[in-house]
Chain A
């Protein structure tokens, strides 16, 4: 493998129902930064059916070029035709770096494609940078420059590891949604749009979609919320989430929850924060009746201000909270809602 042949930072621009997922813009934001360091271009790979019209959006968020793979077989995500599409793009264009969102789609597509093109893949990265591998020179070993250094949490967030892929190309990573920053969109920006179709012939690896069942949910995406009022097991019941909803409403925020709440059936999974839920970084995060298991903390510790209310003085959530209050949430939360309402009315 001639590593020098591989150029460019490529981003899988995930779309669902012909709507670009937020992660695609986040990856473009980071990809642009990496491309600048490497003095190369950032390319969005847009895969779907009748999706060409989305290319301008990707340009506004930083794509220099958009490769469109458009085919009826690609209308709804399935592993095989998508893996064929992305691996064919990789074989044809030879990118140096390929970034994929660590979503329920990307965590299926990424491993399949990396195995198909025989390269390494680092999962669920939270930091990406360009640097040397090994980090420090080791006598008798070549130190390679301009490598993608991929940092990820492991062991449920107990540890972090920085991984490189020095001898194979492309260097591939899946990236945790909500971690990388999008750029401010440049209105009217245009990218070079190139269509590429490797041909899709269904075989035994194409599964059949018998039904698509969408969760009935009118909730906003908690990853976009500026204020999150998050409840845990301590809230006690689905009904008692009402007091959290009232608090959220006063601050223009949204309710989210911990895994225990989902397991108890009090709230749907799309409101879950944490390792097996979503990573959030709102301006204010209330952790109410949440003990603060490491898996939960991994999903919210980047929040600007963390307020914890818990009756257990030794709850680990107090180790990450900026403002911790030991006490009964049933008494404190309604009074806090009333006080904030009054304070805001004054203004």
Chain B
């Protein structure tokens, strides 16, 4: 079985957010990690590899330094890493990103494509289903469990108040929730392999069946009109009461003042 896992290097949102003058993100200025949902997707692929035997290829699109997450994935147990990077691909929205990744995946053989549900920078959850759409294969989003039976996958698909057990033919694309599993750590042997591993680098010319008008900032239908830090409403009052009785009297007093009680 051949599995392609799409991963993204994302800025760690805990460290604060920085912008370029044009309103796009200044990724270079932020600490970078492997996106958590993608890591769960990778772990799911590695478990299928452990169980059934599989070749796991990790693929990412980004700046040259995104090769770091590919090496991390190889250190966890992935077999190959592919970096899609090219200046003309920069500033892509989800349409242009999914077009690019689909163009890269067309060069590969695959039974299963796994992506994370969403990345913690954009939070859109759009790229996975859109890759499937460009490739013309079925998509199962929000996977909380994945099993393989012959040439089929059986997936628990999460909804708000229920889940569906779905069966799909392969090839198929699955988007993984971080609830799916607890990703493994890199192993010393894996880290050794990762250092030695050769990362394949593809540019625009290596993308199959894509048009320039659908790539990068220019090929993105959505445009940023404005981006800024969120302005919050600000703190109200805070008290440090002497006793629980004081605390209760304070809250009850406020509720009376506001005619809540």
Contacts and interface: CB of A to CB of B under 8 A. Distances in A.
B240 A320 contact: no
Contacts of B127: 111
B98 to A, nearest CB: 7
Contact of A323 (B121, B166, B250, B261): B250
A70 B218 CA distance: 39
Nearest to B230: A160
Nearest to B153: A207
Interface stretch (B55-63, B80-88, B131-139, B187-195): B131-139
Contacts of B123: 123-124, 153-156, 275
Interface range, B side: 35 or more
Interface string B79-109: 0000000000000011100100000000000
Interface string A87-116: 000000000000000011101101110111
Interface in A156-176: 156-168
Interface stretch (B70-78, B201-209, B220-228): B220-228
A207 B244 contact: no
Interface of A: 76, 78-80, 83, 103-105, 107-108, 110-112, 114-116, 118-124, 133-135, 149, 153-168, 204-215, 217, 270, 275, 283-284, 294, 297, 301, 305-307, 309, 313, 318-328, 331-332, 335-336, 339-340, 343-344, 347
Interface of B: 11, 13, 16-17, 19, 23, 93-95, 98, 120-130, 132-134, 136-142, 154, 158-169, 220-230, 232-241, 244-245, 247-252, 254-256, 258, 260-261
25 contacts: A76-B164, A79-B138, A108-B139, A111-B124, A111-B125, A111-B126, A112-B130, A115-B95, A115-B134, A119-B221, A133-B223, A134-B225, A155-B11, A155-B121, A159-B227, A162-B225, A168-B221, A213-B164, A305-B260, A320-B234, A321-B236, A323-B237, A324-B238, A328-B244, A332-B244
Given A156-B120, A212-B163, A213-B163, 12 more contacts: A115-B130, A119-B221, A134-B225, A135-B225, A160-B228, A161-B226, A161-B228, A207-B166, A208-B168, A210-B166, A325-B250, A327-B240
